[in-house]
Amino acid sequence: MSLYLWAGGGSSVPQVIRYRQILVVPGMAALLGVSFVARTAVTATVMALTMYVVLGLHMSYTAAGGVSAALTIGLALSGPLLGRLIDRRGLRRVLGVTVAVQAGVWLSVPFLPYTALLGAAFVAGLLMVPAQQVARQAIAASTTPAQRRAAFALESVQGELSYLVGPAAVILCATKASPGAVAWGLGTLIVVGGTGMALLNPPLRAEDEAEAERPPRREWLDVGMVAVLTMAFGTTMLLSGVDIAVIATLEEAGQAPWAAVVIAVLGAGSVTGGLVYGALSRPLPTWFLLGLLGLVTLPIGLVREWPWLCVAVLGTGLLAAPALSALADTVTRLAPAGVRGEATGLQSSAQSAGFALGSPIAGVAVDVSVPASGFAVAGLIGLATAMTGYLLCRRRPSPWAPASIRHDPTKTTDAGVL
């Protein structure tokens, strides 16, 4: 897709958003490149451990699920922990520690018994290279307010591409080569991505934020921030629930092999939606995007055949990346510079928890009812968390929001959720 997208909006003059302007920000293109390498590898870690336990250790998928759960729990805890360390100790120190840990864990995976692998998976998740957090903080520090929404749209598109590439590549490689070798290769990519970010050492604060103080948590983790974190949790719960519902629907129809095609269409729609959203001249409130996401997801279960399911999931796909990019943008705007690392870490944890819980909740709905109920539950989760976010946002805005927002709560262009 061209880097130039046209968008109309509130202005009588059409606005041309040049994504190239984002990529020529000093160091931005290189950062997005190395963070994409790391994020692609990170998204594939659960699949790599699953394939290793099943094909390498010849154990059950239940055993593989235990290792995946240990990794996921570690990832959920790592966000605020590493974010706080970045705020206090600096980026390179944190990246140095996490890169060293990842090298050690993935090098040892093929030699570990199952019980030791459980502990290693937890440590790998807890001290995972924070590629997503670093990219978001660098975008907030290096771009102007006018550029930021388009920049976060690119970051969300990067995330969608990593989910499309990473797990599929691991499955392909694990069936063609040793699962232990795949673990080594994955660890290498994580180390390369983390080392690349350490060498780039992107600024995580703007020049006027260099001496920013760290306020008490109770002052910035307020109603507005809780609203955003709630919606982040709901968004990923919805998306992971949709994945399960797609598989269950097509399995019941005897069309399970086509699930990969439907998921690919969903991802492609998200990439397209993210790029289009970044080109709009005016943003949309996050609660509104999430509410729409829930609404378009509800009726998908009415479809049974895979070609029509590809069409039905397009609405969900087109709104997924815009919702995620709006969340990232809002968190970085509401958080004071001195705690931006911890705030983005909390967002990552909320999203990781949503991914972890969305699949089993949708799975339970499918088991006790019909596959269509998986889509219904996912959509209702999106609507419920969107409404919760809206109601919380109607309360007093964060004192850390821009002055223009604090003085005029009807504005949505800066805070996104208000």
Strand pairing class (4-7; 15-18) = antiparallel
Which H or E element spans position 351? helix 340-368
Count the neighbouring beta carbons within 10 Å of the beta carbon of residue 174.
Answer: 22
* 31 DSSP 8-state letter: H
> CB–CB of 104/116 below 8 Å?
no
> CB–CB of 135/345 below 8 Å?
no
pLDDT of residue 333: 86
Every domain of the chain and the residues it spans: 16-211, 215-418
SS3 27: coil
| pLDDT tens readout for residues 285-339 | 999 999 999 999 999 989 888 899 999 999 999 999 899 989 988 888 888 877 8
> Does 218 score more than 90 pLDDT?
no
Task: Say how far residue 256 (Cα) sits from the centre of its chain.
Answer: 26
pLDDT of residue 193: 93
> Does 6 score more than 60 pLDDT?
no
Distances (CA, A) of 110 to 67, 97, 188: 14, 22, 14
- Top CATH class of 215-418 equals mainly alpha
Asked if the domains at 16-211 and 215-418 fall in one CATH topology, the answer is: yes
| pLDDT band for position 383 (cuts 50, 70, 90) | very high
> Does 354 score more than 80 pLDDT?
yes
Between 282 and 61, the more confident residue is 282
pLDDT of residue 120: 94
> Does 112 score more than 70 pLDDT?
yes
pLDDT of residue 210: 60
Closest-CA residue to 350 (of 201, 234, 267, 238): 234
DSSP 198-230: HHH---SS-GGGTT-----HHHHSSHHHHHHHH
* 253 DSSP 8-state letter: T
| pLDDT band for position 409 (cuts 50, 70, 90) | very low
Between 403 and 49, the more confident residue is 49
For the chain, percent of residues with pLDDT exceeding 90: 29
Structure token pair of residue 78: 């790592």
d(CA 392, CA 228): 9
pLDDT of residue 212: 65
Instruction: List Cβ neighbours of 146 (8 Å cut-off, separation of 6 or more).
Output: none
> Does 405 score more than 70 pLDDT?
no
Which H or E element spans position 134? helix 131-142
- The fold of 16-211 is Growth Hormone; Chain: A; (1.20.1250)
| pLDDT band for position 64 (cuts 50, 70, 90) | confident
The amino acid occupying position 83 is G
Structure token pair of residue 281: 């001249």
Angle at 160 between CA 24 and CA 286, to 5 degrees: 85
d(CA 309, CA 256): 12
Q: Per mean pLDDT, which range of 101-110, 142-151, 299-308, 403-412 is the poorest? A: 403-412
Between 379 and 137, the more confident residue is 379
